[in-house]
Amino acid sequence: KVVRLVSVPASLGFVSLHIHAATEDSTSPRKIIKVEELSLYSTPVQEAKYVEDKQTQLEEGVSWVRQAVAPYTSWCQDAYIKAKPKFETAVEHSKGTYEFLKDAPPGFYPRLGLIGFAGIVGLFLARGSRVKKVIYPLGFMGLGASLYYPQQAVTIAKDTSAVMYDWGLQGVVTLESLFKDSGKKKKGRKEEKPEEASEPSLKSDIVSTKETPEKGSTSEGSS
């Protein structure tokens, strides 16, 4: 084993090694290229412009109609939003009345017929004025209903009296405001008239003051 290890470095001494000098091309600095600059990864720059299509006559007409109808549609939407809860309440009341009439208590329809007949009698008696044609049928129907339904009639009478009282107060307030406004207008007109009358008196005073110096100068010239 020792002979083998010694023979290996001895054999290396007989090996001939050739060394070549480096050329100038190999020693020149290398250019570093980015990944984006490679042809495989480069993307051409595209300049795109958006061009709007010209509107046709049909499109112009449709847009004009939409602009013209827009305020009316908004008004209809507002009216629908306001009327929707009222309509729903009316539908609920109608459903309640239908269910009540469907399972009406005994004797309800004869009473209803008598109340309607009382309204027809009131309409027959109310001849001449339109106010009577409204008041008489309602009054006779109210009397007929109060005979059969006294408790409900009392509650309705209380509610209507409260409503009528409120309306009366509102009417009195509006009349007072109208009278106050008319009184203020009359006072303003009366105050304007004396001012107009005082203006000619001022003018006459100014004319008289102008005439007095002229008279004094004429008297001095004569003397």
The CA distance from 122 to 131, in Å, is 12
- Selection from 26-30, 55-59, 177-181 with the highest mean pLDDT: 55-59
Average pLDDT over residues 71-82: 90
Cα–Cα distance for residue pair 216/214, rounded to 1 Å: 5
For the segment 32-36, the average pLDDT, to the nearest whole number, is: 71
Q: Poorest-confidence range of 58-62, 63-67, 103-107, 206-210?
A: 206-210
Domain ranges for the chain, please list them: 63-103
Residue with tokens 């003397």: 223
Rounded percentage of the chain residues whose pLDDT exceeds 90: 2
Q: What is the pLDDT of residues 129-166, one digit of tens each?
A: 788 788 888 888 888 888 777 777 778 777 877 887 88
Band (41; pLDDT cuts 50, 70, 90): low
Q: How many helices (H) and strands (E) does the chain have?
A: 6, 0
In the chain, % of residues over pLDDT 70? 63
Show the tokens assigned to 13. 């001494």
Residues 88 and 142: their CA atoms lie apart, in Å, by 28
Place of tokens 């100038």: 24
In this structure, of 14-28, 153-167, 203-217, the range with the lowest mean pLDDT score is: 203-217
The mean pLDDT value for 164-173 works out to 83
Whether the CB-CB separation of 121 and 140 falls below 8 Å is answered with: yes
Both tokens of residue 205? Answer: 């005073």
What is residue 81's predicted lDDT score, i.e. its pLDDT? Answer: 92
Query: pTM value?
Result: 0.35
